[in-house]
Structure 1
């Protein structure tokens, strides 16, 4: 006598294998061979120069056929240099101020151009014009406006007595930082707006419609729907801009030259305008910039992991 078998009523789909399981179930070494060319290219054009720079920063004179290993002497020389300390402070102040302002203005612009209105496509294209200019070109344009003879910005600041007669905004360290922040905000805010707009585009409109039915205000919809769902795009945008800000070179080279250097311009001057053949301290300064970028990346990756866990 056949024993009836109960039919399966569980409609739960089978669990999907993870990435590591998919790589090892089938294909063997095929997945690794597929990514090998990319890994090799990265190793050649990125990893090797970084390791070689680290090696040079630990030597006395890289041009010497038998350079002496000096350990951290170049780093000690750099960190005890008052000019480096000023460059570090300048870079940090510039990075914090410019990134914060670009994020605020970029968020506002993104919210505006995310609305439906006539000519929206033209407006979206037009706001990208400042970002299309090379940074050094933007710096030269704004330098003319900061000029103490014909600069319109200097004239207006003198008119409201924020600057004295014959003075200019880029005549002091604080003024150079302010000028660099203003110029960078003008140029890079469209980039931030573009990244934030991409995040706004993926928020379902049904969520706003449901909230509108519930009688919420615009501010409530912004704080309860828009901002929480913009966490990941905002973190990505902040990461890109923070990494770009700490290696700012063009603006400070044009506005401050050697008087008010950034970390990047300090490293450049040490390598190419210092004692001939003694560019190891400049390489050490460049390594410091790289390590600072790694630290910022790790912080943002940790923040991104926390956001993903909350989701």
Structure 2
């Protein structure tokens, strides 16, 4: 009778050899992946990395747009400095904090509305009806229109003198006098949010629709047989299954909303009521020609977006139960 250890020895050697081959193949794949990614990483470093580093550098200088070559290092004075018994700098500027609040409010409100209406539109487009493909194509039109064009189009429609929005609302008896949608402090932010939501709902709807198309039909057939209400089926079955797609939509839209510039600048220009961090940085850089102060604002904008993105991804991974 042969010894058990002797019988297992050849098998163990084969497993070790196979594992070594697997490790070698894995290393080769990793090297090949880095080789293919190298051109993109080099291009990204030149296009995005170098300007970002220069922005960080200028934020610690007194650079002016007239002559950036004579910039002198001043440390953190653009951010915060104590001089003659008072604090100065970006972190003490009330207009900056107003722009931060406007950006956060705009981002949270617009992305929340886009997710809600995007899911509703996706559910409607996922249903079977005549002309569905035509409707799907039509829904994408707002997303296909360039942002500057759509913002200018809405600026004309929201005009308080000859805008069609006021005309329709007055015809329906909803308002008695024209409203200054983009000039009124109480309406301007909501007008901007409305335009942004109108444009970006198709993006969210498209991602959610793709997720709905991949859902298994067995669960819905079983729910129909059991007589479960469709609303309960949505919250218990559909919503958990499309959560990963919703997270992708939210993170992309949140990144866009936090750095929003074009739609707000076209509609309300430099109005403090709707000024975001991007518009504030542009105002300091271009209009006031203070490159150092504007670079400090841009740096804080980058850090805030990076922090919110990392936090969102971390919480999302925990919610989905992904291993860290």
* TM value normalised by structure 2: 0.82
Residues 28 and 252 of structure 1: is their aligned pair in 2 closer, same or farther, counting only changes over 3 Å?
closer
Distance 2:278 2:176 in 1: 31
Distance 2:34 2:252 in 1: 29
Distance 2:146 2:126 in 1: 27
Name the residue aligned to 1:69.
Answer: 73
Distance 1:211 1:247 in 2: 43
Distance 1:212 1:146 in 2: 46
Distance 1:59 1:164 in 2: 53
The correspondence of residues 232-247 of structure 1 with structure 2, limited to 5 A, is 232-247=244-259
Partner of residue 268 from structure 1, selected from 274, 277, 282 = 282
8 A Cα contact 2:148 2:263, kept in partner: yes
How far did residue 25 of structure 1 move? 5.2
Residues 32 and 137 of structure 1: is their aligned pair in 2 closer, same or farther, counting only changes over 3 Å?
closer
Partner of residue 150 from structure 2, selected from 138, 147, 150 = 138
SS at match of 1:171: coil
Q: C-alpha deviations, 1:74-95, integer Å up to 9, x for none?
A: 1232232222222222111111
8 A Cα contact 1:148 1:155, kept in partner: no
Name the residue aligned to 2:243.
Answer: 231
Name the residue aligned to 1:11.
Answer: none
**Count of matched residue positions in the alignment of Structure 1 and Structure 2:** 300
How far did residue 159 of structure 1 move? 6.7
Segments of 5+ residues of structure 2 without an aligned counterpart are 8-14, 81-88
Name the residue aligned to 1:50.
Answer: 52
Name the residue aligned to 2:38.
Answer: 36
How far did residue 3 of structure 1 move? 8.6
How far did residue 47 of structure 1 move? 2.1
The correspondence of residues 197-212 of structure 1 with structure 2, limited to 5 A, is 197-212=209-224
The correspondence of residues 90-239 of structure 1 with structure 2, limited to 5 A, is 90-156=102-168, 165=177, 167-239=179-251
How far did residue 147 of structure 1 move? 1.1
Distance 1:33 1:116 in 2: 46
Name the residue aligned to 1:9.
Answer: none
8 A Cα contact 2:166 2:178, kept in partner: no
How far did residue 187 of structure 1 move? 0.8
Question: Which stretch of the first structure deviates more once superposed, 158-167 or 242-251?
Answer: 158-167
Distance 2:250 2:243 in 1: 10
Residues 80 and 114 of structure 1: is their aligned pair in 2 closer, same or farther, counting only changes over 3 Å?
same
Distance 1:167 1:40 in 2: 51
Segments of 5+ residues of structure 1 without an aligned counterpart are 7-13
Question: Which stretch of the first structure deviates more once superposed, 297-306 or 221-230?
Answer: 297-306
Residues 160 and 86 of structure 1: is their aligned pair in 2 closer, same or farther, counting only changes over 3 Å?
farther
Residues 25 and 262 of structure 1: is their aligned pair in 2 closer, same or farther, counting only changes over 3 Å?
closer
* TM value normalised by structure 1: 0.86
Question: Which stretch of the first structure deviates more once superposed, 71-80 or 99-108?
Answer: 71-80
Q: C-alpha deviations, 1:2-31, integer Å up to 9, x for none?
A: 79999xxxxxxx9x98xx956665568555
Q: C-alpha deviations, 1:207-260, integer Å up to 9, x for none?
A: 211222222111121011101111111111000011101111112212221123
